[in-house]
A and B are shown apart, each in its own frame.
Chain A
Amino acid sequence: MIGYALGFASACFTLGLLANLWRLMRGPTPPDRILALDTMVMNMIGLTVAYGIWQNTGLNFEAALLFAMTGFISTVAYAKFLLRGDIIE
C-alpha cells in the first residue's frame, strides 16, 4: 500500500515540477519566475524525501535540508536584487 501511495505522491510532485516549469518559461513578470523556481525547489524536496522512503534510507534528509536552505537563500537574494538592484549593501 505504501508503494502505491509513494507512486501517487511522486507522480504528483513530478506533475507539479512540469507545471512550475511551464510557469517559469511563461511567467510575465520576474517575481512569477522566482516563485516558480521556489516552488520547483519545494517539489524537489518532496521528491527527495519520497525517494528516501522508497529506498528506506535516511541519507536523503541532509540533501533535502541543503536544498531547502539554498532554495530559500537564492529566492531571497533574487528578490532583493529585484528590489534594490544590489544584494549586499
Chain B
Amino acid sequence: MHLIAEIIISALLVVSGFFALVGSYGLIRLPDTMTRLHAPTKASTLGLGGVLLASMTYMWFARGDLSWHELLITLFIFLTAPVTANFLAKAHMHGAERPENLPATGTESLWATFEAPDQHLSPNLTETKPETNLTER
C-alpha cells in the first residue's frame, strides 16, 4: 500500500477517535440536558463519518474495490442524528420545562411544540421586540 494512503487512513482514524471521545466526554461534562444534547449529535457523528471514510479508503487501497456501504452508513447517520436530537429536545421540553420558562421566540407565536393543534394552520410570524431573557435562565 502506498505511504500516502496509509497516512490518510491513519489521520482519518485518529481524528475520528478524537472526535468520538470529545462527544462522549461532553456527554459527561456538560451541565444541562439541552447542552448535553449538542455533544453526541455533532461530535460523535463527525467521528463516525471519519472512521467510515477511513474504512472506505482502506478497502479501496487494500482490496482494490471501492465499496459504497460506508457512504450509505454515513449518509444514514448524518440524516438521522438531527431527527434524534429534535425528538429528544421535544421530549425534554415537554417533560422538564414549562412554556413560560423558555426563551422568547422573537415572534408573537409560542414555541411550536407547545401550541394547540389548530394554531399550526395559520402561524403568526410577525416580528416582535426581542426580549432579553436568555440570560435569566
Spell out A's residues near B (CB within 8 Å): 1-2, 4-6, 8-13, 15-17, 19-20, 22-23, 28-32, 34-36, 38-39, 42-43, 45-46, 49-50, 52-53, 56, 58, 61-62, 64-65, 68-69, 72, 75-76, 79-80, 82-83
Tell whether, in the assembled complex, residue A76 and residue B83 are in contact, meaning their CB atoms are under 8 Å apart. Answer: yes
Tell whether, in the assembled complex, residue A1 and residue B59 are in contact, meaning their CB atoms are under 8 Å apart. Answer: no
Tell whether, in the assembled complex, residue A29 and residue B87 are in contact, meaning their CB atoms are under 8 Å apart. Answer: no
User: Interface residues of A: mostly helix, strand, loop or mixed?
Assistant: helix
Closest to B90 in A: A83
- Complex A-B, nearest 3 residue pairs according to Cβ-Cβ distance, in ascending order: A16-B24, A12-B17, A9-B17
Interface size of B by CB at 8 A reads 52
What are 25 sample pairs from A and B whose C-beta atoms fall under 8 A apart?
A1-B10, A2-B6, A4-B10, A10-B17, A12-B21, A13-B17, A23-B36, A29-B96, A31-B33, A31-B37, A32-B36, A35-B27, A35-B36, A36-B27, A42-B44, A43-B20, A45-B77, A46-B47, A56-B63, A58-B59, A58-B69, A61-B73, A65-B76, A75-B88, A82-B95
17 further A-B contacts with Cβ under 8 Å, apart from A1-B6, A9-B14, are A1-B10, A4-B10, A8-B17, A9-B20, A11-B17, A17-B24, A29-B33, A31-B95, A38-B84, A39-B40, A49-B51, A58-B69, A68-B80, A72-B84, A80-B87, A83-B87, A83-B91
